[in-house]
């Protein structure tokens, strides 16, 4: 899952457009991109879109971002959108293990009501959106088998703590948001799920998006969220292993295969041991999943 494009759930025009975006996943939004007055109507708009879109042969995954558990809207959101059989639910402002357990139970009930296979609806969580959530990041492992991914976020946290900004003039994150990003990354890996980078909001700045995407890949994120269709191709390219990287990984795997008993070997003047092999195998698995090898 390289690219995940947000689409406001109250916009039939954008919903129509998003299918051709090339995104691996569409995040159909009922939360922050939908005005309070449009929230109830957006549920049916998203459900009706899903009902026809899930039938497409070659299609992206569909996740619906519901409103957070403390809004009083989450149950109504789930009641309506589960009728459309989304691939998953994206929970915003998640505060840890208990929120995920609660959401899992709510989904289980709706799956039974709508005749969907038990556990078929996956979940992703948005973390570091509340100050509390920063302190529960290590609690997701084992909370629900539905969990497929975890993404960190900066904007809501900055608003919650009254920060004037979360970026410096040069575009870098300010120190508190470097911490949130790093903790979010490690939280995803600790839970053994996909680590997803937060969207780059300046959607006309392609160079900035490319740089931030490359930094995310470098650090261990599997993919990045997008807010505009024009961002998708850049993200897909950055998160698809290139020929050079595949060649390097294959050489490492081959070198270990040729030396079955060896714990460590030298290749091109570099020492390689188990972590290098694991990293090479992961890269080849990603390339395989993307259909390149
Ligand atoms: N999904 C699908 N289509 C989108 C889209 C999206 N996220 N963002 C833009 N488009 C469409 C526009 O409707 C427009 O269609 P048109 O050519 O038929 O008129 C086209 O792509 C070009 O859009 P553009 O004019 O460049 O941008 P805009 O000013 O219309 O929209 C935003 C800018 C930011 C409002 C829009 O990109 C958006 O709604 N993004 C999602 C925001 C969101 O979900 N935020 C929550 C998560 S942070
Ligand atoms: Mg938000």
Cα angle for residues 125, 130, 132 (degrees, 5° grid): 100
Q: Which two tokens stand for residue 278?
A: 């694991």
Tens of pLDDT, residues 6-27: 999 999 999 999 999 999 999 9
Å from CA of 229 to ligand 2 middle = 19
Q: Which is it for strands 223-226 and 3-8: parallel, antiparallel or unpaired? A: parallel
> Where in the chain are all domains bearing CATH 3.20.20.60?
3-239
C-alpha dihedral (180, 182, 183, 184), degrees to nearest 10: 80
Å from CA of 2 to ligand 2 middle = 20
The whole-number pLDDT of residue 16 equals 92
Burial of 274 (0-12, 13-18, 19+ CB in 10 A): exposed
Which residue among 7, 12, 14 has the greatest number of ligand 1 atoms within 8 angstroms of its CB, and so is best to mutate? Answer: 14
Contact 187, 137 (CB under 8 A): yes
Contact 267, 252 (CB under 8 A): yes
Inform me whether the pLDDT recorded for 163 exceeds 90. Answer: yes
Ligand nearest to the CA of 227: 1
The ligand 1 atom at the shortest distance from the C-alpha of residue 32 is 46
Does the beta carbon of 7 sit less than 6 angstroms from any atom of ligand 1?
yes
Three-state DSSP state, 125: strand
The whole-number pLDDT of residue 267 equals 81
Does the beta carbon of 49 sit less than 6 angstroms from any atom of ligand 1?
no
Does the beta carbon of 60 sit less than 6 angstroms from any atom of ligand 1?
no
Output the average pLDDT for the chain: 95
Contacts of 33 (CB under 8 A, 6+ apart): 6, 8, 9
Alpha carbon separation from 33 to 7, 37, 191 (Å, rounded): 8, 12, 28
3-239: CATH architecture: Alpha-Beta Barrel (3.20)
Percentage of residues in the chain having pLDDT higher than 70: 100
Mean pLDDT is lowest, of 41-50, 71-80, 103-112, 272-281, for 272-281
Query: What is the Cα–Cα distance from 217 to 252, expressed in whole angstroms?
Result: 20
Inform me whether the pLDDT recorded for 57 exceeds 90. Answer: no
The whole-number pLDDT of residue 290 equals 79
Q: Which is it for strands 270-272 and 265-267: parallel, antiparallel or unpaired? A: antiparallel
Beta-carbon count within 10 A of 109 CB: 13
């Amino acid at each position: 899952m390289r690219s995940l494009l947000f689409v406001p759930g109250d916009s039939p025009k954008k919903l129509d457009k998003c299918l051709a975006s090339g995104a691996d996943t569409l995040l159909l939004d009922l939360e922050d991109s939908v005005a309070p007055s449009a929230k109830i109507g957006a549920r049916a708009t998203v459900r009706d879109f899903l009902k026809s879109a899930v039938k497409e042969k070659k299609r992206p995954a569909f996740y619906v971002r519901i409103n957070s558990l403390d809004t009083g809207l989450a149950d109504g959101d789930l009641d309506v959108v589960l009728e459309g059989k989304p691939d998953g639910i994206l929970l915003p402002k998640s505060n840890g293990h208990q929120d995920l357990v609660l959401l899992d139970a709510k989904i289980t009930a709706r799956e039974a009501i709508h005749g969907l296979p038990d556990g078929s609806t996956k979940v992703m969580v948005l973390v570091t959106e509340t100050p509390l959530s920063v302190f529960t990041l290590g609690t997701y492992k084992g909370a629900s088998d539905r969990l497929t991914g975890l993404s960190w976020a900066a904007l809501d946290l900055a608003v919650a703590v009254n920060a004037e900004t979360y970026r410096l003039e040069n575009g870098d994150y300010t120190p508190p948001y470097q911490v949130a990003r790093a903790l979010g990354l490690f939280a995803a890996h600790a839970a053994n799920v996909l680590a997803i980078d937060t969207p780059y909001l300046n959607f006309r700045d392609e160079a900035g998006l490319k740089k931030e995407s490359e930094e995310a890949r470098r650090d261990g994120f599997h993919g990045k969220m997008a807010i505009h269709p024009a961002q998708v191709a850049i993200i897909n390219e950055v998160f698809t292993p290139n020929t050079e990287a595949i060649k390097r990984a294959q050489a490492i795997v081959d070198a270990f295969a040729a030396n079955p008993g060896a714990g460590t070997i030298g290749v091109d003047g570099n020492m390689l041991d188990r972590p290098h092999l694991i990293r090479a195998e992961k890269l080849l698995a990603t390339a395989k999943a993307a259909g390149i090898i």
